[in-house]
Structure 1
Amino acid sequence: MKATIVCTLALMAGTGHAATIYLCKAYNGATFWAANHCNQHNALIDRIEYVADGVPWAQQVLQAEQARSGRAQVTQTHTADAQRAQRCGQLAAERAKIEGRYTNWQWQPPEVINPDQQRMRGLRAELSANQCATQ
């Protein structure tokens, strides 16, 4: 409860004194931070950041860069989780396909059984390495 109140107060204090800075992208591809809107510099807006007001420009840019890199890390984490979930789905589908050949109790030739057994060992190892749900 105490932490919630402190966080709320910090947010309320932070929103009252915020400056807006823009990450601009010039037509040649170069990027730069600006206090004014990017169109005043003949550039396009790449990102808008809200930083502490009343601090030196270099510190505002540093705050904006930190916020930008923090969001990039979160995005990378979500992307990695999505890729892992997709891979887990592919592995589970392949495992179900192999297991489906043996659930009807019909005879399978050794040329099919041996590679299937090897692949199942590989699938189990990869499922475990990716921390996939096995059920």
Structure 2
Amino acid sequence: MRKIAFLLLLMPFGASGATVYLCKAYSGGTFWTNTHCSQRNATVERIVTVPDDMTWEQQVDIARAQHQQGQALQSQAVPQVSTAQRCAQLQAERQRIWSRYSNWQYQPPEVIGPDRQRTLAIQAEQQTLRCPMQ
């Protein structure tokens, strides 16, 4: 990791960079390439710009380091919620929506439409998480 950081410091400002792609094959495997993933029947997972005056191995090392750094930041930023907690949140939100309609008072169409869409999204997520339906 220090070697990569040192190499980044040596990169002169204004130098052109090479593009390295992290691709995901349709079969599920991942690989690094310097051509667009679609040319190799894969989807793009990440695009990294690296110094072009380095060997391919050094470019991939830098790209991997940036990818790992990004994953570490992402995992810190997103709090992990258990399935049971998420199911409870979804059920509470669904009950809040339906409470607007349980008193038989008029609701304007601009409220009904979004509520219906959100209710369908909640139901889909509950099914995906296999939440107990009440």
TM-score, normalised with respect to structure 1: 0.48
Bigger proportion of residues as helix: 1
Whichever of the two has the greater Rg, that structure is: 1
TM-score, normalised with respect to structure 2: 0.48
